[in-house]
């Protein structure tokens, strides 16, 4: 990677600059790489792991294997891990903002604001992890009791856009993790470095292997990975923020499995 005369040369903690994908708690190089460039200068910032559909299938399986243990943790335990993640994000706000500015292009002050905004979702849902409350409904028969139980849906997949590289990830990931779900994320190919930096902090916070997986890929492989998410019977929910065109494709591909979708188009 080239950090000369770029915001990346000013990182206080250079180990936050990850270029490999995160799969089952391991940093995976993949069989090929793709370039991430500074949109202002065209300068190459890094060559990042270019994962494939096969890698996505393995990641979904790892997330499924990690689900029982994560789901089995108490809300207080998940709260503690998520709160530590929030604190680490805020402690590294400057570095994450520099990475975000370098690959996304927004001004540094605005990038710092997004880091704080993105971290706020983690803080909020860390508290909500302790408050996954059910309900007792008025019964129509004295011999019956009606209960509403809220349980983790299972493995969740997320596909995020380039314009808010951290906020769109934490907004999708934090509630899923708080509820006891495991997550596989495909960040935008233009801005994967921010996602990987935040994932490194998640690992430091103690999020177990397989609970949070980050699949980096170029535009061609991203299409194939999205199809894996849609086709997999293991993935129970997909959250997508992006174009209406791609949203239609995801809906069509998810129809056979009647998969739950959250679409911001």
pLDDT, residue 3, reads 45
Asked, for residue 9, whether it belongs to a domain, the answer is no
User: Facing residues of 34 across strands?
Assistant: 48
Asked, for residue 250, whether it belongs to a domain, the answer is yes
Residue 237 sits in a domain whose CATH number is: 3.40.605.10
Asked, for residue 66, whether it belongs to a domain, the answer is yes
Asked, for residue 7, whether it belongs to a domain, the answer is no
Predicted confidence band at 7 (pLDDT cuts at 50, 70, 90)? low
Structural domains of the chain, count: 1
Asked, for residue 2, whether it belongs to a domain, the answer is no
Work out the average pLDDT over 42-71.
Answer: 98
Domain that holds residue 111: 20-35+51-264
CB 30 within 8 A of CB 51: yes
pLDDT, residue 9, reads 87
pLDDT digits (tens, 9 = 90+) for 113-168: 999 999 999 999 999 999 999 999 998 888 999 999 999 999 999 999 999 999 99
Q: Pseudo-torsion of CA 148, 81, 121, 187, nearest 10°? A: -100
Instruction: Give the C-alpha separation, 107 to 82, whole Å.
Output: 28
Asked, for residue 13, whether it belongs to a domain, the answer is no
Asked, for residue 45, whether it belongs to a domain, the answer is no
Asked, for residue 4, whether it belongs to a domain, the answer is no
Nearest to 262 by CA among 172, 185, 162: 172
């Amino acid at each position: 990677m080239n950090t000369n005369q770029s915001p990346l040369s000013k990182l206080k903690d250079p180990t936050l600059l990850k270029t490999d994908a995160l799969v089952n708690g391991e940093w995976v190089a993949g069989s090929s790489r793709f370039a991430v460039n500074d949109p202002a200068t065209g300068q190459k910032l890094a060559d990042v792991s270019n994962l494939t559909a096969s890698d996505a299938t393995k990641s979904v399986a790892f997330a499924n294997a990690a689900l029982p243990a994560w789901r089995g943790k108490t809300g207080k335990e998940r709260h503690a891990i998520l709160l530590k993640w929030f604190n680490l994000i805020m402690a590294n706000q400057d570095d994450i903002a520099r990475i975000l500015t370098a690959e996304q292009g927004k001004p540094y002050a605005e990038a710092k604001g997004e880091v704080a905004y993105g971290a706020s979702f983690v803080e909020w849902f860390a508290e909500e992890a302790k408050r996954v409350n059910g309900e007792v409904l008025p019964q129509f028969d004295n011999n019956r009791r009606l209960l509403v139980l809220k349980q983790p849906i299972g493995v969740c997949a997320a596909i995020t856009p380039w314009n808010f590289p951290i906020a769109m990830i934490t907004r999708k990931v934090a509630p899923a993790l708080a509820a006891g779900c495991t997550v596989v994320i495909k960040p935008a190919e233009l801005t994967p470095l921010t996602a990987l930096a935040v994932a490194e902090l998640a690992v430091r916070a103690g999020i177990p292997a397989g609970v949070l997986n980050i699949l980096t890929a170029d535009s061609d492989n991203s299409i194939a990975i999205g199809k894996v998410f849609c086709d997999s019977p293991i993935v129970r929910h997909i959250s997508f923020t992006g174009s209406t065109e791609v949203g239609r494709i995801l809906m069509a591909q998810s129809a056979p499995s009647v998969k739950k979708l959250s679409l911001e188009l």
